[in-house]
């Protein structure tokens, strides 16, 4: 096709549109930090933590350097290490299992539910049995609120309670969503999130946070965040990290949090429109009862017989970008293929990896642009 006639490409996630809306407020927030020069542990960090606590309902919020650190810090604080098994879904971003391996423990991969893409409690039980057979000590479970939808926290929590595991919720993609009327951040012992720029609540670099109602855990996390510092600054009492969120990112997040509720509503509208327009030709995401989604991704499944690469190419020709999260589940990746999987295997993870594809999704996707996406999807499925 002639380059000049090629449809102009639309953004997959439009960080620029949000930046434009926020305008001067971001510049001013950054300028305030540049003026006071407290680049580490400045007043904005404490303010952001308090505002995130009131947004989520969690008693304690410990901000940190990334979502990966958020997961790792909780595992470190709970003393998870060699010989321990931590159960993760395999259909997730690699950081979920990576944090477990970094802590020295063994990630045991479990299967997910075909409709919600989230951890399957029955496979979790099988994974626990597998771990025991291997001589590992079951310690924790990390459900992931994948693509923004909260996991089945009651079902996972019930298995965890029966088996004496603690629950670390990986809400890197799900912060802002709810489970049975409670915001994520309050439904597990600890919840980790990421402020990576493309996340629903993202900063302008790396960042993350941990939410918990457990005061002792929060105190330990604050120590781990600064190299395991004790009450005497020069007597480090445990191993830790350089795990802080910097003040500039906190200042940016304070401004973004002010419009987050409004963006959540806008994302819901986009998702509802997609579901109405596409529900009869592809498998659109399904919200389980009691679960909401923040729609970090809008991920569809293609009907049998539709070639995914051909579908993506057809959309690209119309200027519509797509992404595949995740072409390989964790247990299929080089670094993770030697870790155990739950008895019975992970057939759902493997089939999702073969047929999912994500469409543009963000709070600034106007109806005309969304109609272009819908037309391109319909055209690609019907040819």
Q: Which residues bind ligand PLP (CB under 6 A)?
A: 66-68, 92-93, 95-96, 144, 170, 172-173, 194, 196, 206, 208
Only one residue has tokens 């109602």, namely: 213
Q: Which C-beta is closer to ligand PLP: that of 212 or that of 370?
A: 212
Please, what is the minimum distance in Å from the beta carbon of residue 69 to ligand PLP? 7
CA–CA dist 80, 66 (Å, integer): 19
Please, what is the minimum distance in Å from the beta carbon of residue 7 to ligand PLP? 29
Please, what is the minimum distance in Å from the beta carbon of residue 192 to ligand PLP? 7
Nearest residue to ligand PLP by CB is 67
Please, what is the minimum distance in Å from the beta carbon of residue 8 to ligand PLP? 28
Q: Which C-beta is closer to ligand PLP: that of 84 or that of 170?
A: 170
CA–CA dist 91, 325 (Å, integer): 9
Please, what is the minimum distance in Å from the beta carbon of residue 176 to ligand PLP? 14
Only one residue has tokens 């926020």, namely: 22
Q: Is the dihedral of CA 150, 264, 73, 229 positive or negative?
A: negative
Distances (CA, A) of 315 to 356, 375, 378: 15, 9, 10
Contacting residues for 11 by C-beta, under 8 A, at least 6 apart: 17, 321, 360, 362
Please, what is the minimum distance in Å from the beta carbon of residue 67 to ligand PLP? 2
**Tokens for 113?**
């539910």
Which segments within 171-324 are labelled E, that is strand?
Answer: 178-179, 182-183, 190-194, 208-212, 298-301
Q: Which C-beta is closer to ligand PLP: that of 93 or that of 166?
A: 93
Q: Which C-beta is closer to ligand PLP: that of 200 or that of 240?
A: 200
**What is the DSSP code string of 138-190?**
EEEE--B-GGGB---HHHHHHHHHHHT-EEEEE-TTTBTBEETTEETTSSSSE
Please, what is the minimum distance in Å from the beta carbon of residue 70 to ligand PLP? 7
Please, what is the minimum distance in Å from the beta carbon of residue 93 to ligand PLP? 3
Q: Which C-beta is closer to ligand PLP: that of 144 or that of 177?
A: 144
Q: Which C-beta is closer to ligand PLP: that of 68 or that of 123?
A: 68
Task: Confirm if 268 and 295 have CB atoms less than 8 A apart.
Answer: yes
Only one residue has tokens 């498998």, namely: 283
Please, what is the minimum distance in Å from the beta carbon of residue 73 to ligand PLP? 12
Query: What are residue 243's phi and psi, to 5 degrees?
Result: -115, 20
State how beta strands 137-141 and 84-89 pair: parallel
Q: Which C-beta is closer to ligand PLP: that of 92 or that of 293?
A: 92
Whether residue 33 has a cis bond before it, omega within 30° of 0: no
Task: Confirm if 82 and 104 have CB atoms less than 8 A apart.
Answer: yes
Q: Which C-beta is closer to ligand PLP: that of 92 or that of 353?
A: 92
Alpha carbons within 13 angstroms on the beta-carbon side of residue 121 total 14
């Amino acid at each position: 096709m002639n380059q000049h006639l090629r449809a102009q490409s639309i953004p997959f996630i439009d960080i620029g549109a949000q930046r434009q809306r926020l305008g001067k407020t971001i510049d001013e927030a950054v300028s305030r930090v540049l003026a006071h020069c407290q680049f580490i542990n400045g007043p904005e960090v404490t303010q952001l933590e308090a505002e995130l606590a009131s947004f989520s309902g969690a008693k304690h919020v410990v901000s940190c350097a990334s979502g990966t650190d958020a997961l790792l810090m909780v595992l470190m604080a709970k003393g998870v290490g060699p010989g321990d098994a931590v159960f993760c879904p395999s259909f997730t971003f690699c950081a979920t299992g990576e944090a477990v391996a970094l802590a020295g423990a063994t990630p045991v991969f479990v299967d997910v539910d075909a409709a919600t893409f989230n951890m399957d409690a029955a496979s979790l039980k099988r994974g626990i049995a597998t771990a025991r057979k291997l001589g590992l000590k079951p310690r924790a479970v990390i459900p992931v609120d994948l693509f923004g939808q909260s996991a089945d926290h009651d079902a996972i929590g019930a298995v965890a309670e029966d088996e004496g595991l603690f629950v670390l919720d990986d809400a890197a993609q799900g912060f802002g969503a709810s489970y049975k009327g409670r915001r994520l951040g309050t439904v597990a012992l600890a919840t980790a999130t990421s402020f990576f720029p493309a996340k629903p609540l993202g900063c302008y670099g790396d960042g993350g946070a941990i939410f918990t109602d457990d005061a002792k855990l929060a105190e330990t996390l604050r120590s781990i965040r600064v190299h395991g510092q004790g009450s005497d600054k020069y007597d480090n009492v445990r191993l830790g990290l350089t795990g802080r969120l910097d003040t500039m990112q906190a200042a940016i997040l304070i401004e973004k949090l002010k419009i987050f509720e409004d963006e959540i509503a806008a994302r819901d509208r986009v998702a509802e429109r997609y579901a109405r327009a596409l529900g009869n030709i592809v498998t659109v995401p399904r919200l389980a009862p009691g679960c909401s989604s923040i729609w970090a991704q809008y991920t569809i499944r293609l009907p049998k017989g539709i070639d995914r690469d051909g579908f993506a190419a057809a959309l690209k020709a119309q200027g519509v970008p797509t992404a595949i999260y995740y072409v390989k589940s964790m247990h299929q990746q080089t670094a993770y293929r030697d870790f155990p999987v739950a008895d019975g295997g992970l057939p759902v993870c493997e089939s999702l990896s073969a047929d999912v594809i994500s469409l543009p999704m963000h709070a600034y996707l106007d109806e005309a642009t969304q109609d272009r996406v819908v037309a391109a999807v319909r055209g690609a499925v019907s040819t």
